[in-house]
Structure 1
Amino acid sequence: MAYTSVDSKAMDEAWAAGIRTKAVDVVDTSHCLATLMCPRHPNAEDPASLLAKAIEASDRFMAGSTICLEVEGSGSVPDYIAESIDLLNGYSVKIIIVCDGASTHLPGPLLSDELREAVCKASPGGMLWHPVAKELVYSTIY
């Protein structure tokens, strides 16, 4: 499915809630990195749904994207982020979450097993770009 006005609306609503697009970087001819900056407390009644729609929209914007959810500030990953992954309901997307120096993928310190498993379930497989390590890594956690 191509990026449409529905996706544009989803991104506008995410932005209004404080979820911002940090960058879209072309890593190589087959990999792009789209980073969504996720505040600890978005200004939305249902931030999980809002983020899930923004993830899908970001993925449709450029084929072969890795969607990085970068949590602002220190501490654990806010619940709405894990909930947004569950709300993708079978929508396959390469996601990596970065929070307080840890991420969902090696190398480096790792986030919780539960969060890593949710990200793995959403993944279509293959390689994704690790924004901290600056290298391609397997999208599975095992």
Structure 2
Amino acid sequence: MRYPIAIEPGNDTTAWGVVVPDLPGCFSAGDTLEEALIQAEDAITGWIEAAIDDGQDIPAPSHIEALRAARPEFEGWLWALVKVDPAMLDDTLERVNISLPRRVLHRLDARARSAGETRSGFIARMAVEGREAAPA
């Protein structure tokens, strides 16, 4: 899947601005065109992950020509497509095998129990919340 982005050209004194019209409030910038494209990919990924975590629907990407016709505020801007890995939209459970030292596994299980969660649920929540578990 590819999301169209509108790119406001920058110069020596202003950054290249990027807006993702299909994802409300999703924007980024970079000092160079290349940096702006990389930042746009990060912004889109972050926007989609936050929306999924909040239980929101993810809008389908539009066609660039449709956006160009409907969004006159982007006249004179460049357009590009940013590829999004469809796997990041997939909430299908997948069994994984990890190796941990026993002492680490013991601490992990203790923290999960104290939080009233399973090991898998605890690990998933820590990953989604994007923070480290509090020290035991």
Q: Report the TM-score when normalising by structure 1.
A: 0.27
Tell me which structure has the larger Cα radius of gyration: 2
Structure in which a larger fraction of residues adopt helix:
2
Which of 1 and 2 has higher RCO (CA within 8 Å, sep 6+)? Answer: 2
